[in-house]
Amino acid sequence: MTEAARIPMARAAGRERTEYEPPDEVTFPELVWAHHLRELELHRAHADAYAGPAEERYRAFRAQFEKRHGRIVDEYWCSDEASAAVVALKRARVPLRWLGKDPSVRMYTATNWKTRDLPVPVAELVHESDALAMRAREVLRGTAQRLVLQRLFSVTAYLLGTFDGSSPPEKECKPVLESAAAEVEDVRREYVTAATRSAQIVYFWGMVAGFACLSVLLLFLLPLLTDGVHTQSWARQAFYGCAFAGALGAMVSVVARMNASTFRVEYDVGRPTLRRLGAFRPLVGAVFGVVIFLALASHLMHIDVGSGEEQFPFFVVWAFIAGFSERFVRDTLDGVEASVGGVAHGGGEETPPPGE
């Protein structure tokens, strides 16, 4: 028996003399071992299923576990070994619940006591389900998370239940393993689809937050920093207009590619990282818009920009295009570089922004 297996056994056994007052924190392996001791007492003494010291200890451990990790809404306990899998649901606190925060759902497993004596493919499938459940716990939210975790729990319970007690003959094991492996693979595909869409939503709201911060910078902070700097009014208006147009163009470009299913993000990097990457996207678009504005205003692009009131919409449209298409910006800058005596790099593939 491994050291990890001895720890909950020793701790649970040592607490038999404490009138079943559980500690401040009960781990899931400890709860599983307390349940196993309860099963042993029940089968040994043929006692009442809802009475006895082991039953009281198990109920106390379970209450403490649910207090910290949420109510157990689905469960499977092995009858011959201290192994189990459960799904726990923990609701958000009242203020966050009113704001629409989803409950926290998590699958807990402790199966080493059981899988150590089972065929290797069974242990690998159980481990694969557990690893996929951990990824779904971190990446997904809401209904998608609960559906994936519920299906993974069903696979784990199916495998544990099939081999609970006496193992079936080898010929009967093969269909069970094939069915479980096919289900895990199907759940993996569902997870990838849900995780991609979830990551895109997080990225989008990161862009919204970035655009809001950019608006504060352009409308309030930048005017204060440039107070006293002499510039023509049309140039200042065109600068702000092109910055906003470039930022909006970048956001519209991302949304269009999301709808066309051509926008890819690494969903496993975590939600905070996705938000930060999304927040930088409007800033990049604003920079491109301002660069195109300066190139046009300085006549480096050899394009007639008109005069008077015609200039503002002309600059804004070009800035929006610059934010929308990075390839356009690169090709334009290559042309400007060639016109002033530099060596153009030539049109190449569009460099994807961070997170794509």
Of 69, 91, 126, the position where a domain reaches its end is 69
Predicted local distance difference test score (pLDDT) of residue 232: 58
Average pLDDT over residues 303-311: 65
- Edge-first strand order for the sheet with 71-77 is 71-77, 84-90, 104-110
Which of 166-175, 190-199, 254-263, 315-324 has the lowest average pLDDT?
166-175
d(CA 151, CA 339): 61
Pair type for strands 71-77 and 104-110: unpaired
| % of residues, the chain, pLDDT over 90 | 39
Predicted local distance difference test score (pLDDT) of residue 347: 47
Residue 3 lies in a domain: yes
Surface-to-core class of residue 172, CB atoms within 10 Å of its CB (0-12 exposed, 13-18 middle, 19+ buried)? exposed
Tell me the CA distances in angstroms from 95 to 89, 91, 99, 101, 280, one per residue in order.
18, 11, 7, 9, 30
Per-residue pLDDT tens over the stretch 121-172? 888 999 999 999 999 998 888 889 999 999 999 999 999 988 887 776 767 7
Of 20, 53, 69, the position where a domain reaches its end is 69
Residue of 338, 348, 263 lying closest to 302 (CA atoms): 338
- Please report which confidence band the pLDDT of residue 1 belongs to, taking 50, 70 and 90 as the band edges: very low
Residue of 138, 152, 136 lying closest to 185 (CA atoms): 152
Residue 82 lies in a domain: no
Q: Given a cut of 80, is residue 178 above it in pLDDT?
A: yes
d(CA 352, CA 241): 25
d(CA 201, CA 232): 41
- Please report which confidence band the pLDDT of residue 15 belongs to, taking 50, 70 and 90 as the band edges: very low
For residues 115 and 96, is the Cβ–Cβ distance under 8 A?
A: no
Q: Residue 308, by phi and psi: left (phi above 0), alpha (psi -120 to 50) or beta?
A: left
Residue 132 lies in a domain: no
Residue 228 lies in a domain: yes
Of 40, 69, 98, the position where a domain reaches its end is 69
Residue 300 lies in a domain: yes
Question: Apex CA 38: angle with CA 36 and CA 43, to 5°?
Answer: 95
Per-residue pLDDT tens over the stretch 218-268? 887 666 555 555 555 667 788 888 999 999 999 999 999 998 888 888 888
Residue 55 lies in a domain: yes
Q: Given a cut of 50, is residue 203 above it in pLDDT?
A: yes
Q: How many domains does the chain have?
A: 2
Residue 75 lies in a domain: no
- Alpha helices per DSSP H over 217-259: 222-225, 233-259
Find tokens 């059981």 and name the residue: 114
For residues 159 and 83, is the Cβ–Cβ distance under 8 A?
A: no
Residue 125 identity: L
Greater pLDDT, 194 or 328? 194
For residues 263 and 338, is the Cβ–Cβ distance under 8 A?
A: no
Residue 81 lies in a domain: no
- Please report which confidence band the pLDDT of residue 2 belongs to, taking 50, 70 and 90 as the band edges: very low
Predicted local distance difference test score (pLDDT) of residue 163: 86
Domain that holds residue 232: 198-339
